[in-house]
Amino acid sequence: MTVTAAAPRPLTRQDYKTLSLAALGGALEFYDFIIFVFFANAIGQLFFPPEMPDWLRTLQTYGIFAAGYVVRPLGGIVMAHFGDLLGRKRMFTLSILLMSVPTLAIGLLPTYADIGLAAPLLLLLMRVLQGAAVGGEVPGAWVFVSEHVPARYTGYACGVLTAGLTFGILLGSLVATGLNTAYQPAEVLAGAWRAPFLLGGVFGLGAMYLRRWLHETPVFAEMARRKALAAEMPLKAVLRSHRAAVAVSMLLTWMLSAGIVVIILMTPQLLQKIYHIDARTALVANIAATIGLALGCIFYGTLADRLGAKPVMCVGSLLLAVCTYVFYTTLRTQPELLLPLYGLTGFFVGVVGAVPCVLVQAFPPQVRFSGLSFSYNLSYAIFGGLTPVVVSMMLKNDPLSPAYYVIGVCLVGALTALFVRRTPA
């Protein structure tokens, strides 16, 4: 008698519903976290002394932005610990509340003219709270969707979720573009800048409501049923038995952070400072880049399912390096090509959509949330948090510094991809 193996199941309507709700909720929360960077120039003028040199004001503003990344490991470790022991869904929902409250508060903060040095200190505190929240949100979202779909769709699920997070950036870019279109720069400084943060608080409540309809992941539910959850502190097991996976995950996250932070988040401001492109034009081009990024995340995630993550990450990293160089050097002589070049560069940044697939598959289910969260957040705290500061300092010597930084990190990513391994479930 011949036993025929059951065919792998396809994606169901419930899978698509879970992906859609998770991606939309993630988009609304990620909007809250990144809207800061779109108004960095205005915030720098309002929250620091007017006599401060422009380069130092920019550096300190991005320093406060970076603070949100520095505290991500702490928030991520705590949420991941309970996510591995109590369930993915609970932490996935809690992170929304921890993000929406400080976002709302930023929109209500008094400025330097009102309370002096207390203003940037309060702003710093709000960014710290946001960082703690997003530290649990992003890794938790990747684990959540990957454990809901069949294993052969892990790349697609992570790509769709990452595209959803990208939509949060797009939403921020659209809001910033609309604000800069409707108001003059003086009006933005006078108070219009507060609206996007107040809107973010509303988005947070909406995301909390959406996640009421999600269910615990089948993988965690099965582990709980078999009493196969981690027998010790999950992070302890990660650091003892999965150090190689942590190293690979951290280096690939460095590449992810460089692509997102420099090309998507910082470039609209850099276009204004380096190439003297007006704010509205820079933000419209950023919309094209962000749409390209969302499409690229799904493309590369799907490709990772078909071809494997290793070749996709290796080739994709090199393509991003080449495109970044072409983008920054061409704009010096042909600024009219900004829109198509930025959109294409955004698509190649989409290789980051394959990174979470690698991270999810690098750790076994019992410690997956903790392993992914620790690696991703520690790397983002070190590399992602310092990137705006380092690039800002490098700009004092060379206007092509952002391109050189991204190219260097992409080469690191391509080499790291050669060491990608998949841990059996």
User: Mind spelling out the 3-state secondary structure of 184-251?
Assistant: CHHHHHHCHHHHHHHHHHHHHHHHHHHHHHCCCCHHHHHHHHCCCCCCCCHHHHHHHHCHHHHHHHHH
- Write the CA distances from 313 to 243, 304, 350, 366, integer angstroms: 20, 8, 11, 26
Q: 275-298: string of b/e by CB count within 10 Å (b at 16+)?
A: eebebebbbbbbbbbbbbbbbbbb
User: According to the model, what pLDDT value does residue 6 have?
Assistant: 46
Q: Which amino acid is at 134?
A: V
Contacts of residue 67, Cβ cutoff 8 Å, sequence gap at least 6: 124, 127, 128, 131, 385
User: According to the model, what pLDDT value does residue 229 have?
Assistant: 59
Contact between 259 and 380 (Cβ < 8 Å): no
Domains of the chain: 13-417 (1.20.1250.20)
Distance between CA atoms of 351 and 316, rounded to whole angstroms? Answer: 6
* Helix 154-182 and helix 195-210, axial crossing angle in degrees, nearest 10: 150
pLDDT tens track, the chain, 425 positions: 444 444 567 787 888 887 887 787 778 777 887 788 788 888 888 888 887 777 787 777 878 877 777 777 787 777 776 666 666 667 767 777 788 888 899 999 998 888 988 988 898 899 888 888 877 778 888 888 887 788 889 999 999 999 988 888 888 878 888 888 888 888 888 889 999 999 888 878 777 777 777 776 666 666 666 655 555 677 788 888 889 999 999 999 999 999 998 998 889 888 888 888 887 888 889 889 989 999 999 999 999 999 998 999 999 999 999 999 999 999 888 888 999 999 999 999 999 999 999 999 889 888 888 888 889 888 887 887 788 888 888 888 888 899 999 999 999 999 999 988 776 55
User: According to the model, what pLDDT value does residue 83 have?
Assistant: 65
User: According to the model, what pLDDT value does residue 224 have?
Assistant: 60
Q: What count of residues does the chain have? A: 425
Contacts of residue 192, Cβ cutoff 8 Å, sequence gap at least 6: 179, 182, 183
Distance between CA atoms of 201 and 413, rounded to whole angstroms? Answer: 35
Contact between 93 and 59 (Cβ < 8 Å): no
